[in-house]
Structure 1
């Protein structure tokens, strides 16, 4: 494994505001840079009352401007919501402003509900055009062609690294076919992780973008001074995910010791399964659990995420995690 990185959904905490969430995001990115994390990625979600990163490229620019060395990018941009040219222009502009620090991860899902997708003026059938849209986008970011009738300016010649994101075999196969790096969303969709990584590695075809396969997996990490404290902090994410699955998303809840009364047993089991690629506990416990995940899946890079209500506890969690993963590289 080469690197460890951070995925942040810029969570809006219960009792807080989007401004609080974005300030917390910057503080976490600055801490991540200080701690030696390799990348800091943000994700596109719309009409979500608990997530402040809907205008993902704007937030990426804000974070990149507040940091100096850490790579900043999208994990990801939901391409069915956008024209490839506009994505190329946005990320070409970011790369021009912050050269050598910008990543572009692309997802096939709309990242929202049907009504919001229609409000975005894009539709679910756009996902069927995803491979063609990826190839079109790669063309805009590649070597400039003065004869091309349409060019991304800025964008052409920036060669922004493009990743394919996925939670099934589809993205793995596409990334392998196109010769692009691949990131699996195992932090909330664990079922096809092993199969997807195997399909990607076995089917990979070298390209102008990448000579050999490079696979990232994501995991939740909740670290604290004790196992009990870490489990308490994680309760916010479990409750938030349960509410999302129940169709009642909201701000990131405050942590609780009483999940059993707040999440019915059947739903609790499904939530625990969906979020099972994770490590929760003291430094010793997190080290043991992360080591097992790395040994089993052999990722080239690990991206960790944690929806923790208290921003200081969240930074402390990433501090402990950094102490741990530096012993595992």
Structure 2
């Protein structure tokens, strides 16, 4: 199973360290996190668009490029939120520059605008426009190079929370990243259509399913309590409160952030992996403390590695 660090909160609203604030500090920590996680054995780092990052697409691309430059082998991705108004697609040139600078290591994670007004919300037409823009930029860039386009094209993911999002990914032959919502029960059947109808000839990397989950894991209950307090501090007031993991998850357990020791997190994570059977696990740990977050990633990797076949 491919393991990806899904950095959902790389933009700091207010912080200071060595004279760096906001985006500057976020960029420094993102590069450090990518390098640390490569050394831990993770397969990739995504500076993915999430809460508080949608207004900083160029900063996300810059972070991903810096992370790809300092690391040696992991995949590096950047996020893009599709505009709800169906406006022109921007940023294709920047994403293709990242892909050409780091061939076969670049991911683009595309997310429909979650703040779109009620009504038709299918991202299909916007995805088609984005893919056309990326193909155009790819062709323009490769005119003066000897590299074939398929060598430098990024792996383009469609991320979403609904069955219709996975259907769009299947129609375009894209890998699909399922982001588990915090206010709904698990619905693995949302991936049935994707697995049956994904057009594998339409794009690189498909069919492939990523499961994006939030996990905060600590060595002992005291550190887990610290993590839980930090998560509560960072969590917006209108979001569900994080719940501690228990040792026996019911089949209908809500997919909130898993917080606890490895013994507490293991059954919940195993339950989700058994339900969704992902090819990729994308883990986000929304904790402002770098060392605690890095330790959490180390523990999560140990948990997932323990589930891998020995053969």
Q: Does 1:229 align with 2:217?
A: no
Alignment partner for residue 159 of structure 1, among 125, 129, 153? 153
Aligned equivalent of 1:325:
304
Rounded Cα–Cα distance in structure 1 between residues aligned with 2:254 and 2:234: 12
> CA, structure 1 residues 49+37, in 2 after alignment: closer, same or farther (shift >3 Å)?
closer
User: 8 Å contact 2:216–2:296 — kept in the other structure?
Assistant: yes
TM-score by length of 1: 0.74
Rounded Cα–Cα distance in structure 2 between residues aligned with 1:61 and 1:165: 21
User: 8 Å contact 1:216–1:303 — kept in the other structure?
Assistant: yes
Deviates more, 1:277-286 or 1:318-327: 277-286
Rounded Cα–Cα distance in structure 1 between residues aligned with 2:183 and 2:279: 19
> CA, structure 1 residues 296+11, in 2 after alignment: closer, same or farther (shift >3 Å)?
same
Alignment of 1:97-112 (within 5 A): 97-109=101-113
Output one character per residue of 1:234-275: Cα deviation in whole Å (capped at 9) or x when no partner: 3322343332x27xxxxxxxxxxxxxxxxxxxx6489x9998
Query: Gaps (5+ residues) in structure 1?
Result: 115-123, 145-149, 247-266
1:93 to partner: Cα distance: 0.5
Output one character per residue of 1:65-114: Cα deviation in whole Å (capped at 9) or x when no partner: 2212111112x301227733x43211111111111111111111066xx9
Query: Gaps (5+ residues) in structure 2?
Result: 144-148, 246-251
Rounded Cα–Cα distance in structure 2 between residues aligned with 1:321 and 1:110: 28
Q: Does 1:71 align with 2:75?
A: yes
User: 8 Å contact 1:13–1:21 — kept in the other structure?
Assistant: no
1:293 to partner: Cα distance: 1.7
How large is the RMSD of aligned CA atoms in angstroms?
Answer: 3.6
Q: Does 1:42 align with 2:81?
A: no
**SS in structure 1 at match of 2:140:** coil
User: 8 Å contact 2:208–2:279 — kept in the other structure?
Assistant: yes
1:299 to partner: Cα distance: 1.2
**SS in structure 2 at match of 1:184:** strand
Alignment partner for residue 90 of structure 1, among 94, 99, 108? 94
User: 8 Å contact 1:4–1:301 — kept in the other structure?
Assistant: yes
Alignment partner for residue 132 of structure 2, among 127, 139, 159? 139
> CA, structure 1 residues 30+207, in 2 after alignment: closer, same or farther (shift >3 Å)?
same
Aligned equivalent of 2:272:
293
Q: Does 1:20 align with 2:7?
A: no
Aligned positions, number: 287
1:202 to partner: Cα distance: 3.2
> CA, structure 1 residues 53+288, in 2 after alignment: closer, same or farther (shift >3 Å)?
farther
Output one character per residue of 1:96-153: Cα deviation in whole Å (capped at 9) or x when no partner: 1111111111111066xx9xxxxxxxxx79x8684223223323444x7xxxxx8763
User: 8 Å contact 1:220–1:277 — kept in the other structure?
Assistant: yes
> CA, structure 1 residues 327+45, in 2 after alignment: closer, same or farther (shift >3 Å)?
closer
User: 8 Å contact 2:175–2:208 — kept in the other structure?
Assistant: yes
Rounded Cα–Cα distance in structure 2 between residues aligned with 1:73 and 1:59: 9
> CA, structure 1 residues 328+151, in 2 after alignment: closer, same or farther (shift >3 Å)?
closer
Alignment of 1:267-306 (within 5 A): 268=241, 276-306=255-285
